[in-house]
């Protein structure tokens, strides 16, 4: 079998050998440095992400005084006044009944029945509801609904059913006499599910004060 390879001159052989050596060194250097380059890029990306997060934290921290003022203003509004004062279901139901009864009777309505619904738990809050049947004229009913929706603690009128008492055809009330309506209302209010927690330091001071008072009474005896 004949070989087609031709011998190269010594000068070209040396050049070819140097070129192959350079390529081999370049490949080896690439394989050696590639992990370091990839690791460097990984750390660059991680550092960039951390810098962005720090910048976000700085912007949030810069808003701290404004947020604190807003929180103080919210606390000053006393949001608890919009909730029923009692947290126990039976007491909250009785409180809601008193509110609804006052709104109806103070605006010319007449209550016929009033029943408390089963309370519903809503996380931190408890929804207490009642069903009430009443008689009232149209202007007085408007006043009753306005009172229920604007007074505090807040109450919600969820359902309203209105029926005329004189529903026969051709009925006309006497002049100046507003006919009464039969009204069914579903009214609810919200209370905190648990009583507000007393600060441990204050409770401890109260306990110490009571103990000191008892000790003083025993010393007097």
Q: Is residue 218 part of a domain?
A: no
pLDDT digit string, tens, across residues 18-48: 777 788 888 877 777 778 778 778 888 888 8
Q: Is residue 72 part of a domain?
A: no
Q: Is residue 201 part of a domain?
A: no
Give the per-residue pLDDT at 174.
Answer: 65
Percent of the chain exceeding pLDDT 70 equals 77
Lowest mean pLDDT among 48-52, 56-60, 77-81, 127-131: 77-81
Residues 63 and 106 grouped into a single domain: no
Q: Is residue 2 part of a domain?
A: no
Residues 93 and 185 grouped into a single domain: yes
Contact yes or no for 191/87 (Cβ under 8 A): yes
Q: Is residue 198 part of a domain?
A: no
Q: Please report, to the nearest 10 degrees, the dihedral formed by the alpha carbons of residues 94, 100, 102, 108 taken in order.
A: -150
Q: How far is residue 41's CA from residue 35's CA, in Å, rounded to a whole number? A: 10
Residues 112 and 62 grouped into a single domain: no
Q: Which residues have a Cβ under 8 Å from the Cβ of 80 and sit 6 or more positions away?
A: 192, 196
Task: List the domain range (segments joined by +) for residue 131.
Answer: 82-168+177-192
Give the per-residue pLDDT at 7.
Answer: 66
36 backbone φψ class: left, alpha, beta (φ>0; ψ -120 to 50): alpha
Pairing label, strands 155-164, 125-137 = unpaired
Report which of residues 66 and 1 the model is more confident about.
66
Give the per-residue pLDDT at 61.
Answer: 83
Give the per-residue pLDDT at 169.
Answer: 60
What six digits make up the tokens of 155? 């109450």
pLDDT digit string, tens, across residues 103-113: 999 999 999 99
Q: Is residue 145 part of a domain?
A: yes
Q: Please report, to the nearest 10 degrees, the dihedral formed by the alpha carbons of residues 139, 143, 146, 152 taken in order.
A: -170
* Pure H helices in the chain: 10-62, 64-76, 89-105, 138-150, 200-220
What six digits make up the tokens of 90? 């039976």
Question: To which H or E segment does residue 133 belong?
Answer: strand 125-137
pLDDT digit string, tens, across residues 166-206: 665 666 666 667 788 999 999 999 888 865 554 444 444 54
Lowest mean pLDDT among 66-80, 114-128, 199-213: 199-213
Q: Which residues have a Cβ under 8 Å from the Cβ of 196 and sit 6 or more positions away?
A: 80
């Amino acid at each position: 079998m004949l070989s087609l390879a031709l011998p190269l001159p010594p000068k070209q052989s040396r050049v070819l050998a140097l070129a192959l050596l350079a390529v081999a060194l370049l490949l080896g250097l690439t394989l050696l440095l590639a992990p370091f380059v990839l690791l460097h890029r990984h750390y660059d990306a991680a550092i960039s992400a951390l810098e962005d997060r720090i910048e976000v934290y700085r912007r949030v921290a810069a808003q701290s005084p404004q947020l604190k003022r807003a929180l103080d203003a919210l606390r000053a509004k006393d949001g608890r006044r919009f909730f029923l004062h009692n947290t126990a279901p039976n007491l909250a139901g009785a409180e809601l009944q008193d509110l609804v009864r006052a709104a109806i009777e103070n605006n010319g309505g007449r209550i016929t029945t009033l029943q408390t619904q089963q309370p519903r738990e809503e996380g931190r809050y408890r929804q207490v509801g009642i069903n009430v049947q009443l008689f009232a004229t149209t202007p007085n009913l408007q006043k009753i609904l306005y009172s229920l929706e604007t007074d505090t603690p807040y109450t919600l009128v969820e359902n309203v059913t209105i029926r005329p008492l004189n529903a026969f055809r051709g009925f006309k009330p006497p002049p100046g006499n507003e006919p009464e309506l039969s009204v069914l209302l579903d009214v609810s209010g919200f209370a905190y599910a648990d009583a507000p927690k007393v600060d441990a330091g204050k409770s401890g001071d109260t306990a110490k004060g009571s103990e000191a008072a008892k000790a003083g009474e025993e010393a007097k005896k």
